[in-house]
Structure formats: C-alpha cells, structure tokens
Structure 1
Amino acid sequence: MDNHVLLTNYLSNLKVDLFMADYNLCGRDWRDLDYTPDYSKFYFICDGEGWLKIGDREYYPKPGQLFLMPEGVNQSYSCISDQPFEKYWCHFSAKVGDINLFNMIELSHVCREVDPHVIQEIFSSLTSHMKSDKVYAHLLAKSKLMELFSYFIMNIDVDEITFKNLSSIEKLTKILTYIDAHIERNITIHELAEIAYMHPNYFIRLFKQQIGVPPIQYITRKKITKAKELLRSTQRSVGEIAHDLGFSDLYYFSKQFKKNVGQSPSEFRQGTVVLK
C-alpha cells in the first residue's frame, strides 16, 4: 500500500461547502496583498492578464488555466495591465472529518492541461445554480463543485502531491495495510492502537481526523466491500460469509450490509452473476 491509498480515503470522505461563485471582469483596481483567506478558491481564467502569488510562488495565469488557491495559505493578487482578468471563480471549503484538506495535503496550484469547454460548462452550471432560488439549487451547485474538484485531481500529477504530518500518515498507512490484511478477523481498536503506539482514545481521534470516519466504521465498510466481492464470486451462504468476516450476529451483518449498500445481502446477490 502507498500514499495513493491514503489519498483515495481522503477524497472518498471529502466534504465540500460552496460559499460564493460568479463570472466577472476584474476592475483595474483588482488588488489585494498578503492576506490569508479562511476559504479556498478556484479561478478559471477566460481572458486578460493578472498576477497571483500563492504561498511563496508567483504566477501569471493564462486563459484556459484553472487555479486552486487553498484556505490558510498566504496570497496576493493584482491586475497588471489594461486587460484585467475575465474569470469564473468560487469560494469553498474542503474538509475530511473536521480537518481542512489542505492541512493534510499540498496540491499543485495550477491545472494547465484542461479542456476549457468542460471547465466552462461546469462553472456555468455552478454559477447558474448558485443564483437560482430553487430549493434544490445549492445542492446541484455543490455537485458541480465536486465535479470541478474531481477534474482538477484527474488532471494533475498525483505523484507530486505532498502529504503533511508524515509521521501520522506513516502510522495510518501501516494501520490501513494491517486492516486490509486481516479484514476477515474481528479487529479491535486496542490492537490497532498498539500497532500505532498510541493510547486508544488518541488513536480514534487521529484516525477520524485523517480518514474522515471512526476506525470501527472504516473497518465495517471494508468488511462489507469484501462481502460484496464474496457474494459475487462464490456460492457460500450469507451466514458463512458473515461468519468468515468476523460477524457473530447474522442480523447485525445484514443490517450493516443494507445500511452501506442499500440492499440486503440476498437482494445484492440476486442482482449479480455468480461465477461458477
């Protein structure tokens, strides 16, 4: 297991909240220096010229580029000519559990190789939903923000993503590997905390902060994923599968399966082709 697995867990538990979004022509007085926002931003440059500084890196964005400006990072921006930016933009938060995603990982600030028609369509829908008074509009706008964030991740080099708090990440990577290798056992918090050399209460807090869900919930999800695999690929009974995955109570297994999958184990099996 490598950091790709940890990144997958972060992103699968990502929660976003959209605050503002619009399309506008920046004025010639568009300028702010050395401020640290408590929200993150996406800029999609459509035309014009300008200057951005994110942390200690300076950029002169070109039309067609998508920029990420993370929460909690010192920033500056200004107009630099008689042709200021025309841009789509949005302000948002991105968290895993209660932790700002950008306190956990450092991403590239710019996604240069994008299809401008795709980004423009996403932003156009996003801003339209934000301005709508429909009761479901903000939900649709958030879904477009998730689509935009996914597109950004898809089009950067994930191997260049920097993980912060490496000592904690190394411990969690070891824990996730252990869970995968022993998923058919009844894994306890105590044994996981011992592997991480932590007090169980501190371990639970750290796991939830970094992964987004408590360890028992994560283990249950992994067991259900394994159960789905076994229901598809074997003819073992539901009771046998539950027992082999450490569930002593068939009713509890079925309840957890339906909670995570939306179907009972038997209904799920009937909807799949069993390999013989």
Structure 2
Amino acid sequence: MNHQTLLTNYLSNLQVELFMVSYNRCDTDWRDLDYTPDYSKFYFICEGEGWLKIGNEEYYPTPNQLILMPEGIKQSYSAINDRPFLKYWCHFSAKVGGINLFQILKFPHICTIDQPELIQGIFSSILTYAKSDEVYGHMMAKSKLTELLSHYIMNLDLNQISFINVPVMEKLSTILAYIDSNIEENISVQDLAQIAYMHPNYFIRFFKQQIGVPPILYITGKKIDKAKELLTCTPNTITAIAEHLGFSDLYYFSRQFKKHTGLTPTEYRKQKTVLTT
C-alpha cells in the first residue's frame, strides 16, 4: 500500500475539535517563549511582521501564509517591530482513533496560500459559527475547521507529509494491503493479528487506535465498497456478489449494505443504472 493510500485512510477518519478562534491585531508586546501547548494552532497572516519558533525551526511569516503549530511541540513567538501581525487564528485538536494526528504525521509548518480570500472566508465562517447561538453553530464551526485543514493539505506537496513512526506505519501498510488483496475471503482478526505478530486482543486496540474503527468494521466497509463496484460494473446477481465477497447470508449482506450506503443492493444498482443511462 503506497504513501497516499495510507494517508487517505488516516485523514478520512480524522476528528477535529475547535477550542477558540479570533481575528485581531497582536500587541507590540505579543510574546511567549518556550512553552508547549496541549492544543494545535493555525495562524493566517493578513498583515504585519513577527517571529515564530516551532521545535528547532525559526520562521518570519509573511501575509497570505497559513502556519500550523502542532500540539506537544515546544514553541515561541514574538513581535519584532511596531507593525505586529494582524491575523486570524484558532486553537484546535485533530485526532485519529483518539491519537493526536501530529504524533502520527509530520506536516510542514508553513504554506503560502494561492487564494488568500478563500482562507479568509473560511476563517470568517468559523468565527461566525463559533459565536452563533444556533444549535448547529458549533457543528458548522467544526465543519469549517475541517475544510481549513483540507485546504492546508491541498496546498502542500504530499511528499512533504511524512509518517513519524515508520515501523508502525509499515506494519499497518502490510495489514491494509492484505485486506485489499483478500477482500473476497473471510478475513479474521486472528489472521491479521498473526501478520502483525500481535495477540488478537492487543491487535484490535492497535488497529482501532491507528485507523479509527475496529478491524471487522473496516473489513466490512471494504467489502461493501467492492460490492458497490461489482453492482455497478458487472451483471452478476446480488446473491452471487454476496457469496463472492464471503457473505453466506444474503439477508445479512443486504442489511450491512444498507447500513453503509442507505440503500439496498437492488436500490443501489437501479440508481446507478439510471445515472449512467
């Protein structure tokens, strides 16, 4: 399994939480040295100048740059003249299966945005929804935060994103590749635990921490994805497709299919047929 596929698996299970968001001009005494936050930050610079240190790297961000400052890393910041930053900023967490995303993946700290008005619009929406009294306000603010993180990644070369714990990633890559290659088989937790050289109970915890869902749920989802492909691209009967994917019980297959897609296999095939004719 390649780098991009594994990266997609992580990001598709990402859960974000917004803590604070604002838009303001920093004071000339804006300064804090060598602190380690337990939250991550985004800065989007609109005007002004300043200095940041993230880990061992020093930066002098300029307007239209989006800065990611991950939690758990020592940081410093300071104004450097009488024209301090005017910036949007937010504090947030990003987790996969309860694990801080930035303990799994290493991202560049700064990217230059080609469409700054788009990022300003997203930040403005986060701010509006975060202040809203509507019952959906916080949910929409989190949705916009996810969009902001997506745009950050879109503005990067994927080769700039690396895995921090390479041995774990290699093991996980082997497991996910095995699932993809054997999706028609009855894959058990014991099979996967053996590949990973782990006790099954420990393996289940490991898999859920890394991927965000238990292994059986992940395998079922992959089988349903394959069923959708076969329903769309082949004339095979639903019974034949279910059996091909290791479902001996047609009712169970149909129930799982509807749980994942909202449609029965027959409804899904009809809808796809209508869309392609």
Aligned: 1:243 with 2:248? no
Aligned: 1:33 with 2:33? yes
Superposed displacement of residue 201, structure 1: 1.3
Superposed displacement of residue 273, structure 1: 2.2
Kept in 2: contact 1:65–1:114 (CA 8 A): no
State the alpha-carbon separation in 2 of the partners of residues 114 and 195 from structure 1: 44
Runs of 4+ deviating beyond 6 Å = none
* Partner SS state of residue 268, structure 1: helix
Deviation sequence 1:102-124 (CA, Å, 0-9, x none): 11011011111431111011111
Aligned: 1:202 with 2:202? yes
Superposed displacement of residue 50, structure 1: 0.5
Kept in 2: contact 1:66–1:110 (CA 8 A): yes
Corresponding residue for residue 129 of structure 2: 129
Structure 2 letter corresponding to 1:89:
W
Q: TM-score, normalised by structure 2?
A: 0.97
Corresponding residue for residue 45 of structure 1: 45
Structure 2 letter corresponding to 1:104:
I
Structure 2 letter corresponding to 1:219:
I
State the alpha-carbon separation in 1 of the partners of residues 165 and 149 from structure 2: 23
Q: TM-score, normalised by structure 1?
A: 0.97
Superposed displacement of residue 140, structure 1: 0.9
* Partner SS state of residue 129, structure 1: helix
Unaligned runs of 5+ in 2: none
Percent identical pairs in the alignment equals: 64
Corresponding residue for residue 165 of structure 1: 165
Structure 1 letter corresponding to 2:135:
V
Superposed displacement of residue 152, structure 1: 0.5
Superposed displacement of residue 234, structure 1: 1.1
Superposed displacement of residue 127, structure 1: 0.5
Count of aligned residue pairs for this structure pair: 276
Corresponding residue for residue 187 of structure 1: 187
Map residues 5-154 of structure 1 onto 2, 5 A cutoff.
Answer: 5-154=5-154
**Deviates most, 27-36 or 159-168:** 159-168
State the alpha-carbon separation in 1 of the partners of residues 204 and 169 from structure 2: 14
Unaligned runs of 5+ in 1: none
Structure 2 letter corresponding to 1:134:
E
